[in-house]
Amino acid sequence: MKFLRNIFDNAHAALNKSEKTKKFFPLVDSVDTLVFTPNHTTQKGAHIRDAIDLKRTMMFVILAMIPCLLFGIYNAGHWHYHALGEAGGYMDNFMSKLGIGAWYVIPIIAVSYAVGLGVEFIFAIKNGHAVQEGFLVSGMLIPLIMPVDVPLWMVAVATIFAVVIGKEVFGGTGMNIINVALTARAFLFFAHPTSMTGDNTWVAGIKDMKTDGTLVDGFSGATSLGDLAGAKSKYAEAAVALAKDKGEVVVAGLKAEGDAMATKAVSLMDSFWGFEVGSVGETSAFAALLGGAFLLWVGIASWKVMVSFFLGGLSIAGLLYAMGGNPFYEVDPIQQLMYGGFMFGMVFMITDPVTAAQTGTGKFFYGFIGGALGILIRMANPAYPEGVMLGILIANVCAPTIDHMVIRANVKRRMKRLKTA
């Protein structure tokens, strides 16, 4: 370690020799403070007394994402071989599945970090400040919320957009008003929808399989949410037929087909463990909950936001389930929360301390709104089957207003007590 310390000290001394080289100080400082605890401290004023700095906090979040990453790599390989008809059981060809999954996932991670940190370095050099640590987490979140077959150039463009428009224009780390990783996903979702949804995105190499004719007959590559969207579409088609032909046969066919499609996708346990196609790191609720438990243990995530987000989603899922009348609604509320990125969003997205509500009471409202809107958008509008992204982004925008209303209510209560006294 002393050898490394000497290398960084010599590098700092060399950069400080002239004004021309000083501007490259962030390049060395970013690596130095990642390896060693910074040697500077607050000299005056009130400050937070804590044993870790921001980089260490970010590293804890990355550690919490490791279960999702590892499972996502395996899952990508499993469904690749499943589409070829060579998957076998979940543990069959385990190392081969990890290998093919890593072949597709690691380049996405590499592009995300290379491009995102490149933009961070450019802004740091231009503005003369140290490289900000926030992208350490965003750089991992972006690959985990992308389809495995997304083109790498799209990942690069989305990352640049998210860092520049989602963060730097607001002042950098700690100043952004919406989640940076979700900004990247939302950009691609609306700019290149065919690469973010449909049957050609969720399985590694599925486009080539269709071209080569090696895809297993009957395998669509659709997500569970896509299957549910299909159920809604089939229901609508049958409803049109029912309007033309009032016969009971059509009614019976409508009910049977709707029920079959709405329950076909994945069992509750498969959804919980993550054995379904979807974005790289979002499919396993179990892996996300492992990360959530770790974040709660180290005191980084807010349990108030997590619990209220879960309750918000559960309440809407339960309400629409009780209403029924549509196969898209007729999914057990608990399983509805296991689908897609709901649990991943609950642990890693809605809890972002920068974009979340800051007041204690506001955290409950903020989380509830995010979870409720995410499930409502998913179930009520099949064009956006993964509504969690939009639900969280809307909650991000509402967070300052929620805090403002909570503070105003608190001030009014105190004024009433003052008048009474």
Greater model confidence, 281 or 331: 281
Q: How many folded domains does the chain comprise?
A: 2
Do the domain assignments include residue 77? yes
Q: Is the same domain home to 6 and 138?
A: yes
Residue 372's H or E segment, with its range, is helix 360-380
Instruction: Note whether 168 and 143 are within 8 A (CB).
Output: no
Handedness of CA 251, 252, 254, 255 (dihedral sign): positive
User: Among the residues of 245-302, which ranges form H helices?
Assistant: 248-264, 268-273, 285-297
Please check the confidence at residue 29 and state whether its pLDDT lies above 50: yes
Which pLDDT score, from 0 to 100, does residue 5 have? 62
The residue among 216, 76, 85 whose CA lies nearest residue 146 is: 76
- Tell me phi and psi for residue 38, to 5 degrees: -55, 145
Do the domain assignments include residue 110? yes
Which pLDDT score, from 0 to 100, does residue 11 have? 57
Q: Which of 131, 166, 195 is where one domain is finished?
A: 195
Which pLDDT score, from 0 to 100, does residue 120 have? 86
Do the domain assignments include residue 418? no
Please check the confidence at residue 359 and state whether its pLDDT lies above 90: yes
Which pLDDT score, from 0 to 100, does residue 61 have? 93
Please check the confidence at residue 67 and state whether its pLDDT lies above 80: yes
**Residue 123's domain spans which residues?**
2-37+53-195
Residue 314: both structure tokens together: 């559960």
Separation between Cα atoms, residue 82 and residue 219, nearest integer Å: 9
Q: Residue 416: CA atoms inside 13 Å, Cβ hemisphere, count?
A: 6
Q: Which of 148, 172, 195 is where one domain is finished?
A: 195
Residue 80: both structure tokens together: 């690749």
Do the domain assignments include residue 261? no
Report pTM. 0.84
Provide the pLDDT confidence category of residue 380 given band limits of 50, 70 and 90: confident
pLDDT per residue as tens digits for the range 304-326: 999 999 999 999 999 999 988 77
Q: Which of 195, 225, 252 is where one domain is finished?
A: 195
Do the domain assignments include residue 119? yes
Q: Is the same domain home to 321 and 186?
A: no
Greater model confidence, 385 or 81: 81
pLDDT per residue as tens digits for the range 31-49: 555 555 555 555 555 445 4
pLDDT per residue as tens digits for the range 89-131: 888 889 999 999 999 999 999 999 999 988 888 887 777 666 6
Q: Is the same domain home to 74 and 191?
A: yes
Helices (H) and strands (E) in the chain, counts: 18, 0
Which pLDDT score, from 0 to 100, does residue 217 have? 78
Q: Is the same domain home to 12 and 142?
A: yes
Please check the confidence at residue 157 and state whether its pLDDT lies above 80: yes
Do the domain assignments include residue 133? yes
Greater model confidence, 24 or 127: 127
Q: Is the same domain home to 187 and 69?
A: yes
Angle at 142 between CA 180 and CA 107, to 5 degrees: 145
Separation between Cα atoms, residue 159 and residue 150, nearest integer Å: 13
Q: Is the same domain home to 187 and 326?
A: no
Do the domain assignments include residue 398? yes
Q: Is the same domain home to 153 and 30?
A: yes
Q: Is the same domain home to 190 and 307?
A: no
Provide the pLDDT confidence category of residue 73 given band limits of 50, 70 and 90: very high
Which pLDDT score, from 0 to 100, does residue 258 have? 47
Q: Is the same domain home to 322 and 189?
A: no
Please check the confidence at residue 399 and state whether its pLDDT lies above 90: yes
pLDDT per residue as tens digits for the range 170-207: 887 778 899 999 999 999 999 998 888 888 888 998 88
Which pLDDT score, from 0 to 100, does residue 121 have? 82
Residue 53's H or E segment, with its range, is none
